[in-house]
Amino acid sequence: MIRQKWWRTIGWVCALLWAVTPVFAQVAPEDSGNGTWVVQAKQVYVGDGTVIEGGMLIIRDGVIVAIGKDLEIPSGARVVEVPGGTVTPGLIDANARIESENLLPKLRERGPSGRSHLAGTLPGTAAIPAPDDFKPEPEVEQHEHHEDGVIVEDGVERDDGETPPGDEEDGEVRDAHICPTCDKPHKHASCRSCGPGHDCSACMACVASFVESVGTPEVTSGPSLGPATSPFAIPENGRIRPSQVMARLIRSDYTDIEENLGTCGCTHAKDNYPEQAASGLGPSTIVTEQAAEILPHTNVLDAVDLQSPDFERLLRAGVTTVYVSPDSSAVIGCRGAVVQTGGADRVLRGAAAVKATLGNDPIWLGSVNQGLFFQRVARRVHRRPTTRMGVTWVFRKAFHDTIRRALGVPAYGADTPSVEASEVLAQVLRGEVGLRIQAREQIDISAAIRLANEFGLSFLLEEATEAYRCLDELELARVPVVFGPIFERPRGLRAQTREAGRSRYHTFRSLLERGIPTALSAQELREEDGLARQCMYAMRFGVSEQDALQAVTSVPARLLGIEDQVGTLAVGKRADVVVWSGAPFSSISRPAWVCVGGEPLVSHPRWVNVQTKRQDSW
């Protein structure tokens, strides 16, 4: 009897649950009429600051084909109407952390011996055969000395007659014992032991003086955002940029030189590969490979499950494009990816910018290597940086070593990046691959700017919790920022970093007021703390609705270099559209209809009225 009652209760509860679960109807493709959708609402927010009252939008074949007022509705089109609603572009989170849970369990399955297997098969650890043309003691050619081999102005190089070191003929093996700047033994001003017989290539002061001689970037002012072609589109305005010099110096064939070095008898040769001391596996929140500290040759997309329910959560919240940002457990971590949260063509950019992290995160996150050994042992084995000095050192050495390799100079030591990593870092130096630096505290933001100036790097600043303390510096350096999340008091992982205690409500507003190109991100936060709510917070703290909207649409699209596809509602762009039940970031409205690439994926029948325009009679 009692059991029967219970079953009845459970039945009722189940029935009720079923009844109240919000229905996010998946609109079947065959419902979409002739593939044409018309979206109508009270207002259309284009995303660049303009508002069309009573506007409408026509989508065909995944692309916006018309936008405006009183457009003629094509016959056979499906008309989506949200009375009192607002149409905006799909939101873009330029620094999203995706819950990607599928990598680590698989690795764990390998069991304890998996570590050594991994270490043994990593590239670069096998003995490198000596090339036939390797000469142990190349002759030192005497030639006329020039102070500067290359002068670059306005991106056009002016050659002073001497062949620049990077453009040497093939087969000429660089002598490690002469000055890398001029192929001639001479004295570097900053080096005490510089002179004949001194190994300039092994001397950091010499390499530093070389970098100096090439020139440090001059800070100039310019438009807020440059052309879309460069990864972060920072204008150069004719200043001499070392990275341009590097671009010519660093050639893709430098790996041959590296191989030569591998057989030079140098005792450091095999220490070049930190993968040899493969660490244990990190906690499940970490997707960055923990086998080395410098991993720009790995890609976060390999660890992202595109079917992860996390994407669905983002989609429901109106976020249609995300920059999947790697975690901050390595000083120079893997490359991010630009991914759509739904639709057919998900990956917009597979290998985007390299992620670097300054501050405390690589220290405390990276050292949690609790695979086989206890933490302390893993730390000793793996030589992770344990202080801010160490983090800065690893960052600096990674780029120094890349330059050295490009110059045919051996790179060795405990924190030397692998050859593959150097390859990508060389691309970063050349400006072909973007660099994103995560820094929260003022000290780390300043360090990021300092390091970037040292190597002539353009970069994008992530998170920037304490940006309000160095606004002048950021403004001067013209660093774009992906700020966020906004929070009242840190919680979760962010609280554990101990870098979030001095956040301020006004930071985002202040960044905008200074004209610093700033996008807003919710990172790992979802739903009531998610991206749309971040805009709501920003508005509470004094940011206008249109500014908040741009910070999650057109600005991140420009920063990610995808503004020709998404970011605003314009004819010819991908139809990533969100229709909100009211004002976009109001606390009492929500996304009612979301379509990605013209494919409606979320439709809430409570607000959305879908009708098919009848075929014209003939």
Partner 1 sequence: MNRCFPVRLLALTLGILIGLSASANGAPPPSKVALTGGKIVPVVGDVVEQGTLLIENGTITAIGSDVEIPYDAMEVDCTGKVLFPGMFDPHSWRGLDVTNENLPVAPYLDVYDAIDPSRLYFEDALRDGIASIHVSQGNNCVIGGLTRLVRPIGRTPDAMTVRPALALKISATPKSGFDRMIQLATLRDAFVELDHYLERLAERRYEEVQKEQDKDVDVGPAEARRLGKELIRPEDYDDRHRNLVKLRDGDLGAWIYCGAATDVGPAIRVARENGFLERTVFVLGGDAHRAVQEFRATKRPVVLPTNLTYRWYDPVSAELQEVFVPKVFHDAGVPFALQPHPDSSLAERYLNYQAAQLVREGIPMNEAYASITLRPAEFLGVAKQRGSLEVGKVADLVIFSGDPLEFSSWVEQVYLAGILAYDRARDPRLQTLLGAPEGEAEGDQPEEGGSQAPDPAADSSQPETDQPEKDQQ
Cβ at position 310, least distance to partner 1 in Å:
9
User: In this structure, what DSSP letter does residue 71 have?
Assistant: P
CA atoms within 13 A on the CB side of 141: 9
**Structure tokens belonging to residue 433:** 């691959």
Cβ at position 501, least distance to partner 1 in Å:
12
| CA distance linking residue 230 with residue 434, whole number of Å | 8
| CA distance linking residue 247 with residue 245, whole number of Å | 5
Residue (13 or 130) nearer to partner 1, CB: 13
Give SS3 for 392. helix
Cβ at position 314, least distance to partner 1 in Å:
11
Residue (334 or 532) nearer to partner 1, CB: 532
Chain centroid offset of residue 429 CA:
16
User: In this structure, what DSSP letter does residue 283 have?
Assistant: -
Residue (99 or 259) nearer to partner 1, CB: 99
| CA distance linking residue 281 with residue 319, whole number of Å | 31
CA atoms within 13 A on the CB side of 52: 21
H or E element that contains 579:
strand 577-580
Cβ at position 489, least distance to partner 1 in Å:
7
Residue (195 or 605) nearer to partner 1, CB: 605
Residue (293 or 466) nearer to partner 1, CB: 466
Cβ at position 309, least distance to partner 1 in Å:
4
Residue (10 or 126) nearer to partner 1, CB: 10
Cβ at position 487, least distance to partner 1 in Å:
4
Cβ at position 35, least distance to partner 1 in Å:
28
Cβ at position 537, least distance to partner 1 in Å:
6
Cβ at position 14, least distance to partner 1 in Å:
8
**Structure tokens belonging to residue 101:** 């849970």
| CA distance linking residue 289 with residue 427, whole number of Å | 21
Residue (455 or 483) nearer to partner 1, CB: 483
H or E element that contains 153:
strand 150-153
Contact 567, 49 (CB under 8 A): no
Residue in the block written with tokens 């949260």: 341
**Structure tokens belonging to residue 391:** 């983090």
Strands 577-580 and 78-89: antiparallel
Cβ at position 448, least distance to partner 1 in Å:
23
Contact 95, 521 (CB under 8 A): yes
Contact 562, 571 (CB under 8 A): no
| CA distance linking residue 326 with residue 67, whole number of Å | 36
Residue (458 or 510) nearer to partner 1, CB: 510
CA atoms within 13 A on the CB side of 195: 2
Question: Which positions lie near partner 1, rule CB under 8 A?
Answer: 9, 12-13, 16-17, 20-22, 309, 312-313, 468, 485-491, 504-507, 509-510, 525, 527-529, 533, 536-537, 539-542, 581, 586-590, 606
